[in-house]
Amino acid sequence: MIYLDHAATTPVDPRVAAAMRAVLEDPLAFANPSSMHAAGRAAAARIETARAQVAALVGAPPDDLIFTSGATESDNLAILGVARGRADFGRHIVTARTEHKAVLDACKRLVKEGYVVTFLEPAVDGRIDPMNLRAALRPDTQLVSIMHANNETGVVQDVAALAAVCRAHEVFLHVDAAQSAGKIPLDVCAAGLDLVSLSAHKMYGPKGIGALYVAPRVRPWLVPLAFGGGQERGLRPGTLATHQIVGFGAAAAIAACELDQDADRVRTLVQRFRAALGSLADLRWNDHPTARLPGVVSLSIADVEGESLLAALPELAVSSGAACDASRGEPSYVLRAAGVPAELAQSTLRIAFGRGNTPADAERAAELITAAVARLRACYARRMTTGDWHSGAAGSQRSGTHVICQLRADHAGRVAQVHFAAYGCPAVMAALDLLEQRWPGLPLGGDGALPAALGTPVEWAQAVAAPVEKLGRFLVVEDAMRLATLSAVDAARGT
């Protein structure tokens, strides 16, 4: 398998693993870093070294860095901690519709507590206009949260310009930099940022460890989410995981040294990948032409369904930029907010190259995607245009399932042949294959009703092990079959 999902997580760099292993195997490094004995002080010293390494990566003083379990916790601590700590100054928060769920859900929590949240719309290129941010600020605005680089599209925001607007209005700015830190330059002090969330596993470090940069002017107003122990200046209590923090520090130190080299390599891979896809028609590139992460590509492909496309690419570890909610089949809120039509947002791939990838990987990925798209489009485009064929269509690309049922009846009023042309998820496609085998030889039915021997949509879903939340997609299949049956019955009656 070719791993191209580095925006989701990165493999632990062998040098990072070695640094962590050294801690785990050290007979004294297991000590609690809060302890005052020599072993505890030795563990604490390792943590402070790592703190300095992470801080150096983003241009922050080490004392302003708080270790957390990851960027999600950092986002929550920044947003909830500041909002609650400064509630007397105002209860208005500003963020963007394209933020990570860790930010959006934290803001939704504040709405339940009586806060008002304004959600900014990005421009067509995915960026937030500083003038629009300025227009959204109110006298009671106390916090703005805008991510540095989007986790789906890789679009990079001009956080320094946004910070200048916030400073001019005495509003704090929180930036989720989980995707950007270690991949593009970031100096939190030079940019004037107040709170910055970081994550180790996005930069070849271990999972379960992150950090929050807290500017000195913010510190008095930030209240913790948890209590007990007083670690991390009382903002994040709990015994510190020395080996994970050391791994984070090692990953940050490596990223700082190799940032330009890494960026140039993956940028070249993206160029090769895009060039190799040049023959594939009806593509939409969702990343910014210049302000983007060097290794991330987001592309939407017309006339293919996202889940089926992923299933057709077993050799590639990629993700759907659609970020669909399986229970509702809704397309990515990030892409929809950026103006991508729903039917295209349903069929999006996010390709994220990393340190381990090669030019051959980029070209092979483009080759596999081109072939998979051709197969899926051929299935959807299949039409029976000769003979006494009768059709029925239901659903739409916009809804995620579009089925065209085509059948031919014999002189005895039985189904002779059945074909489906479909745009749908793998479960729907598997059910259609089953029905194409099961339906021939069964009677049409006088009123267009489907024969009992075919089973029901619930039974079709069970036969292909589809989750219950996808039942609606099988009802679309049934609708198309009923319409094709009615057409055949009407033709037989001469109506």
For the question of residue 324 being annotated catalytic, the response is: yes
Produce one character per residue of 321-336: b if its CB has 16 or more CB atoms within 10 Å, e if not: bbbbeeeebbbbbbbb
Q: How many CA atoms lie within 13 A of 248 on its CB side?
A: 35
Strands 141-145 and 92-96: parallel
- Can you tell me which residue has the tokens 């070719």? 2
Name the residue type at position 194. D
Q: From the centroid of its chain, how far is CA 2?
A: 19
- Can you tell me which residue has the tokens 């070209």? 363
Angle at 252 between CA 247 and CA 255, to 5 degrees: 125
Strands 296-301 and 283-285: antiparallel
402 and 445 in contact (C-beta within 8 Å)?
A: no
15 and 246 in contact (C-beta within 8 Å)?
A: no
Query: At residue 82, what are phi and psi to the nearest 5 degrees?
Result: -75, -45
Return the bridge partners of 197, or none.
176, 212
Task: For residue 61, count other CB atoms closer than 10 A to its CB.
Answer: 15
236 and 70 in contact (C-beta within 8 Å)?
A: no
Strands 172-176 and 195-199: parallel
When computed from its CA atoms, the radius of gyration of the chain, rounded to whole angstroms, is 27
Instruction: For residue 125, give every residue at least 6 positions away whose Cβ sits within 8 Å of its Cβ, in sequence order, or none.
Output: 155, 288, 289, 291
Write down the catalytic residue from 324, 379, 405, 425: 324
Token pair for residue 247? Answer: 């791994």
Q: What single-letter DSSP state applies at residue 193?
A: -
Order of strands, edge to edge, in the sheet holding 283-285? 283-285, 296-301, 348-352
Produce one character per residue of 211-232: b if its CB has 16 or more CB atoms within 10 Å, e if not: bbbbbeebeebbebeeeeeebb
For residue 430, with 0-12 CB atoms within 10 Å meaning exposed, 13-18 middle and 19 or more buried, which class applies?
A: middle
Distance separating alpha carbons of residues 109 and 104, to the nearest angstrom: 9
Closest CA to 243 of 213, 206, 203: 206
Please identify every residue annotated as catalytic: 324
